[in-house]
Structures are given as structure tokens and as C-alpha cells.
């Protein structure tokens, strides 16, 4: 099998690429990434010489480039992770999200259809999406696979649109597809515009920890290695045309999560308890900030046997240990070409 993985130099994509390269030596994996600020070849350096792996730099919205890539490699499958993915930046630059997330997805779908020529035996287009397409929850309830879409930001709207495009190519052209919608990911190699790596780095350097509003917004947190395992299971065992929600069963208010992070950082850095909490600074809430996301992953767990393997506290400890052991990676990311993005002090969705 020859698989195209888009966005494989990014945070989640790097974990998926490495899992497939290592676990399936008989597969040929082609990693396509544009290498924007969030894509980093250092994330996949440890597999770059594997015989079943190849990296290609390119833009998923470039129709002729994608056509040439499919013609050269004759892919059997696509795992589509490439996306502009940060809410704050979608508010300041929405058209970039429309181009990558909508146009790029449509290009990939169309070229897959053209290349496979209706002979879909052994073929699959797997689209990786987000729980943000469902909108915002109140204090109770969970997102399920048939929850109506109600996106609130340019980012979530562009991802919702891309989900609809995937389903349209499935229903109109019978393209074999699967979709998954995941909750907030955390773990190693995450670009420090998101809450956890941003705050880890800020605590290391005694910089403020900017918290939107009163910090009461709630998110469900999914360890990235558990997410990669779920993608593996869905790719190989999921039903064609189906959608699967992936969640960590780890709901946290932002402020509570931050306090746990501060406590673990103080312990690991040998600082007095409460030192890092003093860095918390409340800032004006983000426009249209969704109050709560929560995933019901029962379908994935019951039908395919997947389950998260770590508690949030365990996953957070592993994540902090990784960043503390890879401060050169973190320093490189937050300097040079990436510095403007980092210095903007983005806070997680």
C-alpha cells in the first residue's frame, strides 16, 4: 500500500507519519507538507532515512502539483491532516484558512477521484477534522457523530466546510472516505502558539501566562499518541463512509488545567509551589470564544475497540518532560522565522 499523508511535518501529522512508517514497513509513506511556520522537519528527523518513507514539500491547494504527485506515486490511500488550525490566526487572516482547509481539501478529493477512476477497490480518503465544527456546548451534554454542525470561527467554519466536501465526494462520486473529529490534542512537537507548550515555555522563562476571560472555558484533552493510535484503527478497521469522534474523556476548565500545569512545572523545575501560578495574567476574552467542547467517543470505543491510554495528569507529565528535555527544539521554534508567531502570545482554542 502506498499512502499520502498530508501535513506530516506538523504536530499531529508527525506522530501519525512515524506510527505508520514504523508499524507498517510494507507500506510506502509519502509525507507532503508545505512547511509553514507550524511544519518542522525536525519533528520527523528520526525517520527520514527509513526505506519506506519519503518527504515532499508542496501545497495541497496547487491543483497541477497534486495531480503530478498522484501520477508519480499512484497512491492507494490518503490521510489528510494538513490544515491551518489556530482560531486566533483565523480571526486575523481568515482567507488563509479558506484556501488551505477548503480549496486544499477539494483539490485532494478531486485528484484522488481522477486518479482512481472509479476503481475504488483498496482505496481510501481519510479526512482528519476537529470537534470545533459542532459549535459550543452548555454545561452538560456531549458531541456525538450526528450532532448538527454549528461552527463559530473562520477556522471551525473552514473545517466544517471541508468535512462537507468530503461527504459530497462520497455521496456524489462514491469516493471511499472516512472522517474523524477530535478534541484538543496535546503532547510533544506541538507548536507553542497552543496553551500547553506556550505556557511550559513561558514558565521556563518566567514570562506571563495569558488566560482568556476568567479561564472558565472547558475543553476535552486528547494525548496526541492516543490520537495517532485512533487514526491507525479507523484507517484499517473503520466502516467506509462513517464518521468517528475521538476524545480523551479529559474535560478541564482552562484555569484548572493551568494550575495543574503550574504545579507540575514547579515540581520538575525545583521551584517553590505556587511560583508559576503567580505568572497567570487574565486578558480580554477572545471574540466568539466557545464555552465548552466535550466528545462522546463511544462509537469508536465500542465498534473499533480504541480507548485512551493515559489520564490527563499522566499525559501532561510526559509532555512537560519532553519539552524540558528538548529545550533546543523549543528555542529554535520560538526564535528566527517563528518568533513573530510566538511573541503574539496566542492562547489555545
The residues assigned a catalytic role are: 131-132, 155
In contact, 188 and 172? CB cutoff 8 Å: no
3-state helix, strand, coil in the chain (%, to 5): 45, 15, 35
DSSP secondary structure string for all residues of 38-59? T--GGGGGGGTT-TTEEEEE--
CA 27 to chain centre: 23
d(CA 242, CA 179) in angstroms, rounded, equals 6
d(CA 23, CA 211) in angstroms, rounded, equals 39
d(CA 128, CA 181) in angstroms, rounded, equals 6
In contact, 291 and 141? CB cutoff 8 Å: no
Helix (H, G, I), strand (E, B) or coil at 231: helix
In contact, 123 and 1? CB cutoff 8 Å: no
To the nearest 10 degrees (0 to 180), the angle between helices 195-204 and 312-325 is 50
Q: What are the residues facing 185 on neighbouring strands?
A: 222
d(CA 10, CA 8) in angstroms, rounded, equals 5
d(CA 9, CA 48) in angstroms, rounded, equals 11
d(CA 281, CA 166) in angstroms, rounded, equals 41
Quick one: cell of 173? 462520486
Task: Report the residue count for the chain.
Answer: 349
Amino acid at each position: 500500500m502506498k499512502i499520502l499523508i498530508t501535513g506530516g511535518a506538523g504536530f499531529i501529522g508527525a506522530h501519525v507519519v512515524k506510527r505508520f512508517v514504523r508499524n507498517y514497513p510494507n507500506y510506502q509513506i509519502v509525507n507532503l507538507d508545505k512547511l509553514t511556520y507550524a511544519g518542522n522537519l525536525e519533528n520527523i528527523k528520526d525517520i527520514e532515512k527509513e526505506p519506506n518513507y519519503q518527504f515532499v514539500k508542496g501545497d495541497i491547494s496547487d491543483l497541477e502539483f497534486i495531480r503530478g504527485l498522484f501520477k508519480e506515486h499512484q497512491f492507494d490511500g490518503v490521510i489528510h491532516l494538513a490544515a491551518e488550525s489556530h482560531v486566533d490566526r483565523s480571526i486575523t487572516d481568515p482567507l488563509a484558512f479558506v484556501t488551505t482547509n477548503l480549496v486544499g481539501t477539494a483539490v485532494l478529493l478531486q485528484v484522488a477521484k481522477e486518479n482512481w477512476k472509479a476503481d475504488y477497490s483498496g482505496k481510501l480518503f481519510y479526512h482528519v477534522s476537529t470537534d470545533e465544527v459542532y459549535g459550543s456546548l452548555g454545561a452538560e451534554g456531549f458531541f456525538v457523530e450526528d450532532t448538527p454542525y454549528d461552527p463559530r470561527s473562520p477556522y471551525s467554519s473552514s473545517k466544517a466546510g471541508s468535512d462537507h466536501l468530503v461527504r459530497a465526494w462520497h455521496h456524489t462520486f462514491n469516493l471511499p472516505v472516512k472522517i474523524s473529529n477530535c478534541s484538543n490534542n496535546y503532547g510533544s512537537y506541538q507548536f507553542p502558539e497552543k496553551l500547553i507548550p506556550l505556557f511550559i515555555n513561558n514558565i521556563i522563562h518566567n514570562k506571563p501566562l495569558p488566560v482568556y476571560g476568567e479561564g472558565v472555558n472547558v475543553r476535552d484533552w486528547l494525548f496526541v499518541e492516543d490520537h495517532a493510535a485512533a487514526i491507525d484503527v479507523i484507517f484499517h478497521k473503520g466502516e467506509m463512509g462513517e464518521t468517528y469522534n475521538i476524545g480523551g474523556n479529559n474535560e478541564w476548565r482552562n484555569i484548572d488545567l493551568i494550575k495543574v500545569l503550574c504545579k507540575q512545572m514547579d515540581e520538575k523545575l525545583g521551584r517553590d509551589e505556587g511560583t508559576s501560578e503567580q505568572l497567570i495574567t487574565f486578558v480580554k476574552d477572545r471574540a466568539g470564544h466557545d464555552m465548552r467542547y466535550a466528545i462522546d467517543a463511544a462509537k469508536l470505543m465500542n465498534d473499533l475497540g480504541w480507548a485512551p491510554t493515559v489520564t490527563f495528569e499522566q499525559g501532561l507529565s510526559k509532555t512537560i518532560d519532553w519539552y524540558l528535555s528538548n529545550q533546543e527544539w523549543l528555542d529554535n521554534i520560538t526564535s528566527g522565522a517563528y518568533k513573530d508567531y510566538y511573541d503574539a502570545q496566542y492562547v489555545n482554542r
